[in-house]
Structure 1
Amino acid sequence: MLIHPWDAARADGEWQQWLAGHDFGQLAVNGLPGEPPHVQPLHFVHEPDQGPHGRILTHLARPNPVWPALEADPEVLLSVVDDYVYVPGPWQAPPDIPAEHGVPTSFYAAVQLRCTARIVDDPAEKADVLNRQVDHFQPEGGSARAAAGEAPYGRMLSGIRALILDVTDVRAKFKYASHKPAEVQERIAAGLAERQGPRDEAARAHQVRRRQD
């Protein structure tokens, strides 16, 4: 992922705060020789206090074809992208050229976590990973706890494998025209506010916030 200086996270707190509101991404795993990479969409939990950059907890079904590749190479990448919008060319046009000559672009926020994966097959440890995920996604409770050898989920644990991903490096990008002249940025912000598309409000908030930082 190309990251220009003006798109880089201003500090670790910027990407950490953004990632705290996201728990779905794509896990990229190196393929076996002669095979393409595996890309697995999944829910995850980021535990920021576990290690320098935190760790990721998740699980997948045992028949998933990703396991042989993970066993061969545990170095993986978890990619999370959101708050993306299309920016029309006229919004981006510099003040000294016709609006129709402006160049369209994409805005987005992206965090890529490079990780070392550890496969978990111990039933008690798998149950702990599952319970931590449920605690995150269902803080209101309402579900039984997973426990090895105990109903209702104990017998199901053999059908999954858990993953603990220790984060070793982070690359974060907030592409919101931070390098553009104020006049252009104001025009883009106004366009996003007027268009009111599905992610326009979030993208505009990033743009305004980064102008003020």
Structure 2
Amino acid sequence: MLIHPWDSATEDEALDFVRANEFGHLIAAGRGREVPVVVPTQFLLTGDRTILLHLARPNPIWAAIEENPAVVVSLAGDWSYVPGAWKTLPGLEDPRTGVPTTYYAAVQLVCRAEVVGDAEGKTEILRAQLARLEPDGELVDPAEHGRRLPGIRGLRLTIQEVNGKFKYGGNADERHRRHIADRLAERDGPGDAAARRHLLRRLDG
């Protein structure tokens, strides 16, 4: 993806966004395919360099990974449409000349995939995911679903490259960005609060 210098995220900032979401698209190009295999999936970021997840055995992505273990995990979110008039200052600029845009955050992780096929390995992945998603520990241990384990395969992804983009008006001056922050607060539609937080965090940081 195109990342302008003013939209570029630090690695820590990008990984924080990943931890806060942990749902995205796993993309495997394979070899000689007309289009890649793209799978929406929940996943778990452990530490800073490992992603764990599991998928059903019939999933078409397995063949693509066997052809080529290089994959991408792609996330995007916290988006909000910014009308053109918002990008002009009242009384100082013609609102008809404002250029509309969409604010959003996006992270793409280039990874190397390792398929986990043994029962214990898959169980450990499930335990790790449940520890994050079901912290109360009220569910039985995944090992008790032993008969179902053959129906899934696990994946361990080693992150090799982190590309983060936070497109929140970083190319505009402070006065224009704070004006947009005020408009986002007033509208308070889906995505507006998150976009405003990113805008102000990057402005004040």
TM-score range, shorter chain: over 0.9
Equivalent position SS for 2:21: coil
The residue number in structure 2 matching 1:4 is 4
Inter-partner Cα distance in structure 2 for 1:14 and 1:79: 15
**Do 1:58 and 1:164's aligned partners in 2 also have CA atoms closer than 8 Å?**
yes
Letter in 2 for 1:157: L
Q: Which runs of 5+ in 2 are unaligned?
A: none
The residue number in structure 2 matching 1:67 is 62
Post-superposition offset of 1:14: 1.7
The residue number in structure 2 matching 1:103 is 99
Post-superposition offset of 1:93: 3.1
The residue number in structure 1 matching 2:199 is 207
Q: Which runs of 5+ in 1 are unaligned?
A: none
Equivalent position SS for 1:144: coil
The residue number in structure 2 matching 1:171 is 163
Post-superposition offset of 1:18: 2.2
Inter-partner Cα distance in structure 1 for 2:132 and 2:52: 11
The residue number in structure 2 matching 1:33 is 32
Inter-partner Cα distance in structure 2 for 1:118 and 1:22: 22
Of all paired residues, the percent bearing the same amino acid is 43
Post-superposition offset of 1:183: 2.3
Q: TM-score under structure 2 normalisation? A: 0.95
Inter-partner Cα distance in structure 2 for 1:182 and 1:30: 41
Which whole-Å deviations, capped at 9, do the CAs of 1:95-148 have from their partners, x for residues lacking one? 86411121111111111110000011111111111111111111111111122x
Equivalent position SS for 1:21: helix
Does 2:131 align with 1:139?
no
Say how many residue pairs are matched. 204
Larger helix proportion of the pair: 2
**Do 1:94 and 1:102's aligned partners in 2 also have CA atoms closer than 8 Å?**
no
The residue number in structure 1 matching 2:85 is 90
